[in-house]
């Protein structure tokens, strides 16, 4: 058993307790957080110096919770909302609830405060931390993210942001629209859109960008999800993290397929122009050479008896000369150096005439379907040449279908082009009369289509075709200020559409 403490001993204990209390209140007072002690009736028992420094309020200003609420949350609705939150938290009697509210300080300034409340016996200890700066930084970060998203979103070019591993972190709407993949599908993967023949270039450019640190720009190609090849003008730049370390890439992929197509068409048109000039020049000289051959052969034929073997030979010379003359005529048409005058006319009648001609000449295994719109308007043309276009295209269609036969569809109708649908750099928006001839024949590869209008280009057997058919069609159409569109799928068939500008009276 302990003996009763002496008076001295008790005094010592009291001193020790006093020391302890002093240390505790020193800790509370020197704490760099606001601290408030509230009893269960809502009276403030104590607030530390930092609380006053933070909010400006002394114990006199806020004797109880009700007055604190009125002063700190002058907005009625906000006050109600906070009171509700606290009440719910109190019901749960949780320890260390953490909440963030915006308070109004005594001097009217607003501060974002984090409250941590702990319940101790009948009292509540509230610890207040000023998080205004953190919350402002968070807000600024969020705003900057939103701004970036808006900038990328508004960019009409596809944009991809990659992390350091080369996986996409962000894709804008234009990317999804152009290439067909969503970010979800590509998460944690490389985008499988670099064609084999562009891989080396891509690798080299990535190396370049990481070694020099400078953005790169170059023309290349990318594949869409459907496997379509798209011409791209690519610009890429490094993204660095806060420490300045390379953290990924931002890549802008401008779709330049349309521009490329127009460039190619222009190049093709220029090539045709050059060939035309050359061929036309030769044809003229050739005509001059042919003329005396034909004239003299004709005279000799008249002077020679039909039974004579010489007559037969002369006949052969004459026939060959006529073939040569026809060929020269075609070349002159192609090079647009013939002298035919165009008239304003409707195409329905001449197209129908040509069709009935074709019908009689076509093998029976070929079925011909026609859609000729009666309402098609006027164009500037020459009926013999229109006839020739239809004949040449139909003959090609028939050759493409071979012995198996198939179907030829011919249509004539009007079409209006606006700025966006134009098929040629020289084409102007407006109304056109379109003559379309399609077949179900063997079709053509893209590479072949590029050559078919070249004079003397043919894939037919030697001695079968001259390869002047489409060159002639091209020459006629150009002279009429028209345009030709070819589309074809190997083994499926081809469609040739010719657009003649409508003449408005
Ligand atoms: N409808 C078509 N389907 C498939 N290939 C075609 C078609 N039209 C043209 N071609 C291809 O284009 C080539 C050139 O055609 P073009 O009419 O100029 O000459 P050709 O038909 O070979 O000879 P020619 O017309 O002088 O008898 C053809 O040899 C063929 O390879
Ligand atoms: Mg032909």
pLDDT of residue 4: 81
Cα(403) to ligand 2 centroid in Å equals 16
Within 347-492, strands assigned E span 366-372, 379-381, 406-417, 430-439, 483-489
Cα(233) to ligand 1 centroid in Å equals 35
Does residue 1 register a pLDDT over 60? no
Domains in the chain: boundaries:
28-130, 142-255, 260-334, 343-501
* Ligand minimally distant from the alpha carbon of residue 493: 1
> Could you give the C-alpha distances from 349 to 353, 387, 410, in angstroms and in order?
6, 10, 14
- The answer to whether the beta carbons of residues 38 and 65 sit under 8 Å apart is yes
Does residue 95 register a pLDDT over 60? no
Cα(314) to ligand 2 centroid in Å equals 30
pLDDT in tens, 131-168: 989 888 999 999 988 998 899 989 999 999 999 999 99
Q: What share of the chain is helix, strand, coil (3-state, %, to 5)?
A: 45, 25, 30
Query: By three-state DSSP, how is residue 189 classified?
Result: coil
What is the rounded CA–CA span in Å between residue 112 and residue 118?
A: 20
Does residue 96 register a pLDDT over 70? no
Domains 28-130 and 142-255 share a fold: yes
Q: Does domain 142-255 have CATH number 3.30.420.40?
A: no
Q: How confident is the model at residue 275 (pLDDT cuts 50, 70, 90)?
A: confident
What is the rounded CA–CA span in Å between residue 59 and residue 105?
A: 14
**Over residues 460-468, mean pLDDT:** 84
**Over residues 51-68, mean pLDDT:** 94
pLDDT in tens, 421-444: 888 888 999 999 999 999 999 999
Q: Tell me the percentage of the chain whose pLDDT exceeds 70.
A: 98
Query: Strand 159-163 and strand 246-255: pairing?
Result: antiparallel
Which residues lie closer than 8 Å to 298 by C-beta, 6 or more apart?
318
Q: Six-digit token pair at 338?
A: 């013939």
Q: Whose CA is nearest to atom 19 of ligand 1?
A: 467
What is the rounded CA–CA span in Å between residue 13 and residue 266?
A: 104
* Ligand minimally distant from the alpha carbon of residue 398: 1
Q: Whose CA is nearest to atom 30 of ligand 1?
A: 459
What is the largest distance, in Å, between two alpha-carbon atoms of the chain? Answer: 168
Query: What pTM does this model have?
Result: 0.57
- Cβ density class 360-392: b for 16+ within 10 Å, e for less: eebeeebebeeebeeebbbbbbbeebbebbbbb
Protein residues whose CB sits closer than 6 Å to any atom of ligand 1: 392, 396-397, 400, 439, 441-444, 452, 457-460, 465-471, 494
Does residue 93 register a pLDDT over 70? no
Q: Tell me the percentage of the chain whose pLDDT exceeds 90.
A: 62
Q: How confident is the model at residue 23 (pLDDT cuts 50, 70, 90)?
A: confident
pLDDT of residue 276: 82
Pick the CATH number of 28-130 from 2.50.20.10, 3.30.450.20, 3.30.420.40, 1.10.357.10: 3.30.450.20
Query: Strand 44-47 and strand 97-104: pairing?
Result: unpaired
- The answer to whether the beta carbons of residues 256 and 227 sit under 8 Å apart is no
How many CA atoms, within 13 angstroms, populate the side-chain half-sphere of residue 443?
A: 10
Q: Give the mutation target among 452, 456, 488, 497 for probing the ligand 1 site: most ligand atoms within 8 A of CB.
A: 452
pLDDT of residue 504: 84
**Over residues 49-60, mean pLDDT:** 94
Least confident of 227-231, 331-335, 370-374, 403-407: 331-335
pLDDT of residue 20: 85
Does residue 353 register a pLDDT over 80? yes
CATH number of the 343-501 domain? 3.30.565.10
* Ligand minimally distant from the alpha carbon of residue 461: 1
Q: Give the mutation target among 399, 409, 476, 493 for probing the ligand 1 site: most ligand atoms within 8 A of CB.
A: 399
What is the rounded CA–CA span in Å between residue 394 and residue 400?
A: 10
- The answer to whether the beta carbons of residues 454 and 275 sit under 8 Å apart is yes
- The answer to whether the beta carbons of residues 452 and 444 sit under 8 Å apart is yes
Which residues make up the environment of ion ligand 2, defined by Cβ < 5 Å? 396, 469
Query: Strand 34-38 and strand 44-47: pairing?
Result: antiparallel
Q: Whose CA is nearest to atom 22 of ligand 1?
A: 458
Q: Six-digit token pair at 15?
A: 């001193």
What is the rounded CA–CA span in Å between residue 332 and residue 327?
A: 9
């Amino acid at each position: 058993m302990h003996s009763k403490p002496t008076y001295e001993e008790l005094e010592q204990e009291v001193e020790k307790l006093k020391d302890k209390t002093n240390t505790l209140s020193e800790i509370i007072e020197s704490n760099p957080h606001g601290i408030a002690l509230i009893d269960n009736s809502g009276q403030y028992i104590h607030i530390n110096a930092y609380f006053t420094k933070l909010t400006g309020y002394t114990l006199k200003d806020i004797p109880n919770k009700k007055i604190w609420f009125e002063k700190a949350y002058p907005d009625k609705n906000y006050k109600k909302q906070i009171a509700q939150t606290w009440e719910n938290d109190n019901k749960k009697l949780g320890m260390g609830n953490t909440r963030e509210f915006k308070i109004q300080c005594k001097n009217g300034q607003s501060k974002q405060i984090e409250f941590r409340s702990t319940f101790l016996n009948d009292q509540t200890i509230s610890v207040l931390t000023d998080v205004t700066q953190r919350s402002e930084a968070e807000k600024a970060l969020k705003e900057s993210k939103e701004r970036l998203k808006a900038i990328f979103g508004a960019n009409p070019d596809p944009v991809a942001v990659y992390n350091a591993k080369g996986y996409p972190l962000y894709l804008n709407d234009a990317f999804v629209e152009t290439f067909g993949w969503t970010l979800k599908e590509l998460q944690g993967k490389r985008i499988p859109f670099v064609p084999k023949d562009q891989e080396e270039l891509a690798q080299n450019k990535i190396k370049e960008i990481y070694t020099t640190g400078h953005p790169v720009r170059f023309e290349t190609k990318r594949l869409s999800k459907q496997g379509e090849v798209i011409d791209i003008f690519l610009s890429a730049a490094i993204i660095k993290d806060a420490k300045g370390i390379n953290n990924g890439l931002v890549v802008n992929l401008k779709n330049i397929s349309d521009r490329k197509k127009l460039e190619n068409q222009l190049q093709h048109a220029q090539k045709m122009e050059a060939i035309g000039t050359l061929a036309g020049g030769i044809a003229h000289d050739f005509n001059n050479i042919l003329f005396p051959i034909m004239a003299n052969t004709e005279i000799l034929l008249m002077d020679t008896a039909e039974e004579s073997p010489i007559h037969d030979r002369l006949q052969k010379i004459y026939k060959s000369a006529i073939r040569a003359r026809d060929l020269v005529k075609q070349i002159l048409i192609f090079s647009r150096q013939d002298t035919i005058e165009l008239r304003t006319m409707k195409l329905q009648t001449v197209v129908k005439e040509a069709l009935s001609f074709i019908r009689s000449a076509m093998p029976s295994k070929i079925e011909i379907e026609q859609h000729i719109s009666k309402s098609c308007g006027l164009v500037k043309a020459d009926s013999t040449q229109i006839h020739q276009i239809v004949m040449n295209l139909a003959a090609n269609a028939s050759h493409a279908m071979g012995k198996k036969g198939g179907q030829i569809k011919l249509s004539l109708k009007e079409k209006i082009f606006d700025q966006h649908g134009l098929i040629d750099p020289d084409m102007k928006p407006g109304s056109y009369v379109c003559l379309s001839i399609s077949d179900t024949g063997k079709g053509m590869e893209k590479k072949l289509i590029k050559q078919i209008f070249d004079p003397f280009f043919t894939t037919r057997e030697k001695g079968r075709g001259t390869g002047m058919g489409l060159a002639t069609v091209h020459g006629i159409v150009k002279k009429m200020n028209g345009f030709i569109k070819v589309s074809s799928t190997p083994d499926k068939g081809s469609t040739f559409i010719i657009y003649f500008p409508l003449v408005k009276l």
